Chains A and B, each alone.
Chain A
Amino acid sequence: MKKYIILISAVLITLTTFKAKAQEKSYWGVFGGVSVPTGQFANSDYGTFLHDNNKAGFAKTGMTLGLDGAWYVHKNWAIAATVSYQDQGQLSANDAHTLAAGYQDAFGVDQGAVTSTKRYQNLNVLVGPQYSFFFSKFAVDLRANVGLIKSFSTPQINIVITDAGISYPFAQESSKASAFAYGGSADLRYNFTKKLGLVLKENYVASSGIDITNTQRVNNAGRLDTKQPITILQTTLGLNFSF
């Protein structure tokens, strides 16, 4: 429900600002910073027998880089857009151990083994209305965003359970799916000159999830992640250039 309210608000506010005349200097910029997974995306818990955690993402704190811009269309109102790349890491040896033990228990087998490759890497494309407060050389920007998360890869998880000397392999495949995303940001800008500024931003992005494909799953048992929710909180520092 929350995402629909944000989506509708973003669209309405954006539409109402289209007719207006620009009042403030628009800008574009580049930024980089830290991207911290939160909620189930950061969770590294397998769950318990019959209560598997199918949404735990095992994502790690990583980095983000991107381009950002805001085009003022009416006084303090702007239409803003962000394109960013994120890397949220890969499964650790401990994560692989957690999964191996979890699958071993879930299937009641002699041994569980997990091999994981590939990382969480994705591109976010977000747009939305921005309202700015100006204080001399400072500006504070508040923004609501909607858009898309495009995954380049998610961890590839290969599982082999072995019982009585017989191996049963299956896998959670790396995903390149896309999904709807929403969020919001707040930033503090400082203008060194009329053209150049520095911006410190807190950005929140959430998505109900990208589709995950599982292969060679025969029976309904053990952890089965079919949709990976993504929530990230990013702290970035960037340069912005007015035009």
Chain B
Amino acid sequence: MIKRKHAVYALLGTALFYASCSSKSEQAVAPNIANETITQASLKFTNQANVTDTTSCTYTFHVDNNGNVTSVDSTTLTLKANSKYNAVVYMLDQTQSPVFVVSNEIKDRENYHLFFYQPTPINAAPVISNTSPYIPGTPVNTSAAPLNLAIQRTDLDTNNPPLQIGLTTVFTTGAASTGNLRWVLRHQPNAKNGTYYPGSSDLDVNFVTVIK
């Protein structure tokens, strides 16, 4: 009987010893890697009233062999007045061979990317919400004629609830006017909530815009 008790005590003691062992901490940091390079960013437009009426605007980053931007150029965005255009984003990384379609990668990573489109000048501050494609803090200029352009995003990601992405949009033009279109891609890893501020910008460019 005593032997039996000793065996039980020994086993229970061992169990308590293991149970009380404090676990150590393991920590690891993955190596730093560069984000994807964008060498060409385009918006391609199709007039809803006439699918043969297409246009586009392109912003190009010229890079050296080390991937440093040496110069940039952009084309003018020209749209017809009082029209609606379906727009799609097309982005390339031409430093890779074959050329890498970055916009496809953005689609794969849609749950933490968000595009913003801001026409300027504006006469009044735009309404900002988690479905607004406009950039908060854009200066209001009441002395200049506004660029008569409104934008709506038309695509949704797979977050719960879904949030807009901005790879596809509808551009609605008003009367003839000129100005700029600021186009921003926000990278919001585990922070996307539909608004502009979380995260950082992967792309921030301007197109001279003419509505005629």
A residues sitting closer than 8 Å to B (CB atoms) are: 30-32, 49-50, 63, 65, 85, 87, 90-93, 95-97, 99-101, 103-104, 107-119, 121, 152-153, 161, 163-166, 168, 170, 196, 216-222, 239, 241
Contact = CB atoms under 8 A, between A and B. Distances in A.
Given A95-B26, A115-B27, A117-B25, A30 B8 contact: yes
Contacts of B199: 163-164, 166
B92 to A, nearest CB: 17
A222 B191 CA distance: 13
A72 B200 CA distance: 69
B26 A92 contact: yes
A85 B30 CA distance: 35
Interface string B41-68: 0000000000000000000000000000
B202 to A, nearest CB: 9
10 contacts: A30-B11, A96-B27, A99-B28, A113-B27, A113-B28, A116-B25, A117-B26, A218-B191, A219-B111, A220-B160
A97 B192 contact: no
B159 interface: yes
A219 B189 contact: yes
Nearest to B18: A87
A96 B192 contact: no
A157 to B, nearest CB: 10
Nearest to A120: B23
Interface string B183-204: 0000111111100000110000
A65 B108 contact: no
Contacts of A117: 23-26
B25 A65 contact: no
B189 A161 contact: yes
Interface residues of B, number: 41
Interface in B135-154: none
Instruction: Give the dominant DSSP class at B's interface.
Output: loop
Contacts of A32: 11, 14
A173 B7 CA distance: 37
Question: What 6 A-B pairs are tightest by C-beta distance, nearest first?
Answer: A164-B200, A96-B28, A107-B189, A97-B28, A100-B30, A101-B30
A217 B190 contact: yes
Interface in B1-36: 4, 7-8, 11-12, 14-15, 18-19, 21, 23-36
B85 interface: no
Given A65-B12, A110-B32, A115-B27, 4 more contacts: A90-B26, A100-B28, A103-B30, A164-B199
B212 interface: no
Contacts of B28: 93, 96-97, 99-100, 113-114
B158 interface: yes
A116 to B, nearest CB: 5
Nearest to A99: B28
B112 interface: yes
B7 A239 contact: yes
Contact of B26 (A96, A104, A109, A196): A96
A112 B112 CA distance: 16
Contact of B19 (A49, A85, A220): A85
Contacts of A97: 28, 30
A216 B27 CA distance: 19
Nearest to A92: B26
Nearest to B7: A239
A104 B27 contact: no
Given A218-B192, A241-B4, A108 B29 contact: no
Nearest to B25: A117
Contacts of B31: 101, 111
B190 A161 contact: yes
A107 B200 contact: no
Contact of A91 (B26, B33, B191): B26
Contacts of B158: 220
A125 B62 CA distance: 67
